[in-house]
Amino acid sequence: MNELLSQLVTLQAIDLEIDQIDNAIKSEQNGLDERMSALAEREALINELQEKVTALQKESRTLESEMADKMDHVRERQSKMMQVQTGREQTALLKEIEDAKKSAKENEEKIMAIMEAVEKLTAQMEEEKNLLKGEKQLVTEETEKVRANIEAINKGKKKKDTTRSDQASKIKKSLLRKYDTLRQHRNGLAVINVVDGVCQGCFMSIPPQRFNMLLKGDEIFECPTCQRLNYYIPPTEEEN
């Protein structure tokens, strides 16, 4: 194989390993991020429940004070009863008292319903708080583990990075730039084998004449379809 190509093939093998390391770090981090956002969601739910409870309690206090006013009104009207003379006045007062009592009763029913709702919401909130506590504990442990994992992975990556720069320093700058650009735009693969005249990067055939020249291994050829740099390693060798 062409010497320059062979250097690139070695470099790409290192780069692919580094890609794997980066992916491993990313997936460790992603797993933790997912857990964190689940925590945040549960916290938001608990806050929402708390807000509902607070609003209901406020409504209940308003209803209670209204109810007290209505009962005061009933008592005041009842004492007025002693002073009225005519049957018509009496009937009117009695109706007023009945209406106020009925209205106070309605308040009482609403307050009872609110108390029931508050009880349910509070129970739900307690349950969510317990779940949150357990999850927080887990995430704390998980965070430690992930941090240690990433640290270990990073140690391995540092070694690889050094190997990578050593290898890259052997390669002509312009060729290296081309290689880096290709890797960026061609899914991490800049140099690629050709098997039976088919580029293994894009799986398109390359012209037979060019394939014959490639077999000689003297020159660097770009794939006419994907522009990756083609090399040729016979299948048996590749399996090793």
Question: Can you tell me the distance from the alpha carbon of 66 to that of 119, in angstroms, rounded to the nearest whole number?
Answer: 22
Structure-block tokens of residue 206? 């390359």
The smaller minimum CB distance to Zn ion, of residues 71 and 202, is found at 202
194 makes contact with Zn ion (CB under 5 A): no
Measured N-to-C along each axis, helices 3-81 and 173-185 cross at an angle, to the nearest 10 degrees, of 40
Find the shortest distance in angstroms from Cβ 18 to Zn ion: 23
Residue 118 and residue 53 in contact, taking contact as beta carbons nearer than 8 Å: yes
Find the shortest distance in angstroms from Cβ 155 to Zn ion: 36
CA 62 to each of CA 41, 65, 111: distance values in angstroms, whole numbers, following the listed order: 32, 5, 10
Q: Sign (positive/negative) of CA torsion 42, 43, 47, 53?
A: positive
Find the shortest distance in angstroms from Cβ 231 to Zn ion: 12
Contact with Zn ion (CB under 5 A) among 1, 25, 153, 202: 202
The smaller minimum CB distance to Zn ion, of residues 54 and 203, is found at 203
CA 74 to each of CA 5, 77, 84: distance values in angstroms, whole numbers, following the listed order: 100, 5, 15
The 74-113 contact track toward Zn ion, x by CB under 5 A, reads ----------------------------------------
Contact with Zn ion (CB under 5 A) among 201, 210, 211, 214: 201
Find the shortest distance in angstroms from Cβ 199 to Zn ion: 3
Question: Can you tell me the distance from the alpha carbon of 21 to that of 103, in angstroms, rounded to the nearest whole number?
Answer: 72
Q: Is 217 left (phi over 0), alpha (psi -120 to 50) or beta?
A: left
Q: Edge to edge, what strands does the sheet with 191-195 contain?
A: 198-199, 191-195, 229-231, 221-222
214 makes contact with Zn ion (CB under 5 A): no
182 makes contact with Zn ion (CB under 5 A): no
Stretch near Zn ion under the rule CB under 5 A, chosen from 67-75, 99-107, 112-120, 198-206: 198-206
Find the shortest distance in angstroms from Cβ 209 to Zn ion: 16
The smaller minimum CB distance to Zn ion, of residues 146 and 199, is found at 199
220 makes contact with Zn ion (CB under 5 A): no
Contact residues for Zn ion, defined by CB under 5 A: 199, 201-202, 223, 225-226
